[in-house]
Amino acid sequence: MKFLLLFFVFFLNQSVFSQELNSSVFINSDNIESSDKYIFDEMKVAFEQFLNNQKWTEDTYKNEEKIKCNFIINIVNLPSISNFEASVQILSSRPIFNSSYESILLNHGDKDWSFEYVTSQPLDFNENNFNNNITSLLSYYAYIVIGMDNDSFEKFGGEKYFQKAWKIVNNAQQSNYIGWDQFGSNNNRYWLTENLLNPELGIVRESFYNYHINGLDIFENNAEKSRESIVKDLKNISEVNQIKPNSILIKSFINSKSNEISNIFSKGPINIRKEVYNILSKIDPSKTENFSKILN
């Protein structure tokens, strides 16, 4: 009886304190002509289980504290049986204090993912070795998602998780898969991690933290003070952008926050709104039309 009671307490604790991610995987295979479409359903389940059942940190997360994230995978080519070429969009969010609103933390597209997958393939992760390009990419973005979440609650709180992502990058260097080395696109996994760990871009991460803690989290109680704080953060990011133009970290911030910032500053003093419009347009001229709603 005592054993059963201990087992019940253990099981209860495991259900209350569980893994870190609440991931959903979506796979689009519309561009692929194949009679074996069932494999994409199996792939979805396998990828979700890998992300959600793995224990990525030493921290304990209650079910309601799990980090919500989506992996939207678009299969673009099937060069041969069991070989896939895909792009993946990774999105994650976190709740904002004193509201029902959830803010996007990461909205990042990765266009260079090729991998091999067969039915019932086991997905194992070893952080000290490169096993395959499935577990390496999923594990890499798991740590990026967790790191971004921690960075939004604590200044440089995601550092050790970005270091783990960097270790995955280094392990993958000799794999010959694209996306892991510094000589490819400046928007790849190598450069995203390099930016996150680069001291010259540290002010961007500080601003990311302030944006959430001293901006969004107080917005419901004091919108004016929230906007003042966010303006300072945007100025800091703009100054770094002049030194490090085309930084993937700054691009990622704007991709994640452009609509949100536009909504935040669609109200308030017109002089502040003009200032924010000018700052954002300088950081990312391609989104000027989107930012124009701030002035309307």
Has residue 13 been placed in a domain? no
The last residue of a domain, from among 146, 171, 197:
197
pLDDT at 209: 98
Has residue 277 been placed in a domain? yes
The rounded distance, in Å, linking the Cα atoms of 135 and 82 is: 16
What is the b/e burial string over 72-108, where b = at least 16 CB atoms within 10 angstroms of the residue's CB? ebbbbebeeeeebbbebbbbbbbebeeeeeebebbbb
Q: Does residue 133 share a domain with residue 238?
A: no
The last residue of a domain, from among 175, 197, 219:
197
Query: Dihedrals φ, ψ of 32, to 5°?
Result: -105, 125
Q: Does residue 237 share a domain with residue 96?
A: no
Antiparallel, parallel or unpaired: β 102-116 and 83-95: antiparallel
Q: Does residue 188 share a domain with residue 229?
A: no
Q: Are 76 and 86 in contact (CB under 8 A)?
A: yes
Has residue 213 been placed in a domain? yes
Gyration radius from the chain CA atoms: 21
Question: Hey, what's the torsion of the CAs at 169, 171, 175, 179, to 10 degrees?
Answer: 0
pLDDT at 296: 85
Has residue 41 been placed in a domain? yes
- 296 residues of the chain, pLDDT tens digit each: 444 444 443 343 444 457 999 999 999 999 888 768 889 999 999 999 999 999 999 999 999 999 999 999 999 999 988 999 999 999 999 999 999 999 999 999 999 999 999 999 999 999 999 999 999 999 999 999 999 999 999 999 999 999 999 999 999 998 999 999 998 788 999 999 999 999 999 999 999 999 999 999 999 999 999 999 999 999 999 999 999 998 999 999 999 999 999 999 999 999 999 999 999 999 999 999 999 999 98
Has residue 289 been placed in a domain? yes
Q: Does residue 165 share a domain with residue 33?
A: yes
Q: Does residue 159 share a domain with residue 270?
A: no
Q: Does residue 183 share a domain with residue 66?
A: yes
Show the domain range for 234: 200-296
Model pTM score: 0.93
Has residue 272 been placed in a domain? yes
Q: Does residue 69 share a domain with residue 107?
A: yes
Q: Does residue 238 share a domain with residue 154?
A: no
Q: Does residue 175 share a domain with residue 153?
A: yes
Has residue 12 been placed in a domain? no
Number of domains into which the chain is organized: 2
Q: Which residue matches tokens 């100054």? A: 239
Q: Does residue 149 share a domain with residue 217?
A: no
The last residue of a domain, from among 197, 223, 242:
197
H runs (alpha helix) in the chain = 2-16, 38-53, 133-153, 159-171, 189-197, 202-210, 223-243, 248-264, 270-283, 288-291
Residue 209 structure tokens: 């933290």
